[in-house]
Structure 1
Amino acid sequence: MNERAAATLAIGVLGAASFLVTVYLVTVPIWALFIAWASFVAAGGGVTGVRRSLPMAIVGILSATATLLVAHVLGAGPWATALCIVFGAGALVAIGRFELFSSTPASFFGFASTVGIIAVTGRSIADAPSVSHPAAIALMAMVLGTVFGYVAELLAGALSRADRIVGGVAGQCT
């Protein structure tokens, strides 16, 4: 199977599996999982993609949490929130000069996923810590999305290699 067909099959099957996981096992928004998966791919995939995207997504979640908690303390009005975002989002860009934190888009994916989860769940960032806290849901989604991206890459590679091995053996028999 060529690489494109292998990737198509792997991503299709694992995309469906990830949906079922989010419905029945770990209730996180599928869109947040897909954002993490895309972040992994955009960061280069493989171990490099994991190292670059997941830590920065976590940093983004932490930044969103701190930003929104400070905004909450300040009354959560639009101007207070906007001012807090200046610092929260600005910090994500500023730390990008360090290699470990250079995948700035991944941090914004984590930040945005946290804010989006707050919007769709109606929960507050100031809620008590729990597995249903918006930051915890975002973290679970980022980890799951990265895992699904990594496994999809491995599966696509295995399907592509298996075809080359079978094709090579068949070619030797003729």
Structure 2
Amino acid sequence: MNLVTALAIVIGALGAIATYLVLGPAAGLQLQIWIVFIAWASYFHCGGNEAAAKSSFVANVWGAVCATVALILIGKLGGQGLIVISIIVGVTVAIMILGAHVPLLSAIPAAVYGYAATAGYALLSKADAMNFAPGGVLTTVVLSCLVGVIFGWLSGKIAGAIAK
């Protein structure tokens, strides 16, 4: 079987399992299946191997941290208007990209995925960016990204074995 077909079968099956777990038994963790899938794709975007698991997850978290800082600053200063909000986003995104000078943070697209997922979750859930408990913005994104990278790694291993 070719690798694309194997990946289709394995990712389809594991996607169903991930959805079941996130919406069922693990619902109390408030993981977000859409963030799981973003991190899963990020894993493959970064190379789909052990090194990719590390680079993707660390960069996802780096982006999530930068977005969380932006959300906290917007919460404190955002009442001053759209220009201030826009500057906060611009500065935190620039800092996020400059982080790529550090080899561990060099997967810029993965950092952007983490930033975007964090902003998206915060806007959709209206969760407090200062809440670091389960369901809090940063905690939810980081845990969801971890699950996504694990499922990415697992799907790559299984599909690789099937394709041989």
Provide the C-alpha distance between the structure 1 equivalents of 2:94 and 2:4, rounded to a whole number of angstroms.
38
Structure 2 unmatched runs, 5+: none
Q: Letter of the aligned partner of 1:137 in structure 2?
A: T
Taking only aligned residues, the RMSD between alpha carbons, in angstroms, comes to 1.4
Contact persistence 1:39–1:106 (CA under 8 A): yes
Provide the C-alpha distance between the structure 2 equivalents of 1:14 and 1:135, rounded to a whole number of angstroms.
25
Deviation of 1:149 (Å): 0.4
3-state SS of the aligned residue for 1:74? helix
Provide the C-alpha distance between the structure 2 equivalents of 1:111 and 1:81, rounded to a whole number of angstroms.
15
Deviation of 1:129 (Å): 2.4
| Count of residues in correspondence between the two structures | 160
Q: What residue in structure 1 maps to residue 107 of structure 2?
A: 103
Aligned pairs for 1:49-128 (under 5 A) are 49-76=52-79, 77-126=81-130, 128=131
Q: Letter of the aligned partner of 1:152 in structure 2?
A: S
Q: What residue in structure 2 maps to residue 171 of structure 1?
A: none
Q: What residue in structure 2 maps to residue 19 of structure 1?
A: 19
Give the percent of matched residue pairs that are identical in Structure 1 and Structure 2: 25
* Cα deviation 1:71-105 (Å, max 9, x = unaligned): 21114442222111121100111121332211011
Segment drifting more, 131-140 vs 93-102: 93-102
3-state SS of the aligned residue for 2:134? coil
Provide the C-alpha distance between the structure 2 equivalents of 1:14 and 1:143, rounded to a whole number of angstroms.
15
Structure 1 unmatched runs, 5+: 162-174
Provide the C-alpha distance between the structure 2 equivalents of 1:95 and 1:57, rounded to a whole number of angstroms.
12
Q: Letter of the aligned partner of 2:96 in structure 1?
A: L
Which runs of at least 4 in structure 1 moved beyond 6 Å after TM superposition?
A: none
Q: What residue in structure 2 maps to residue 149 of structure 1?
A: 152
* Cα deviation 1:27-58 (Å, max 9, x = unaligned): 32211111101111000011121121100111
Contact persistence 1:68–1:81 (CA under 8 A): no
Q: Letter of the aligned partner of 1:153 in structure 2?
A: G
Q: What residue in structure 1 maps to residue 7 of structure 2?
A: 7
Q: What residue in structure 1 maps to residue 37 of structure 2?
A: 34
What TM-score comes out, normalization by structure 2 length?
0.91
3-state SS of the aligned residue for 2:11? helix
Segment drifting more, 22-31 vs 74-83: 74-83
3-state SS of the aligned residue for 2:47? coil
Segment drifting more, 151-160 vs 76-85: 76-85
Provide the C-alpha distance between the structure 1 equivalents of 2:78 and 2:89, rounded to a whole number of angstroms.
14
Q: What residue in structure 2 maps to residue 135 of structure 1?
A: 138
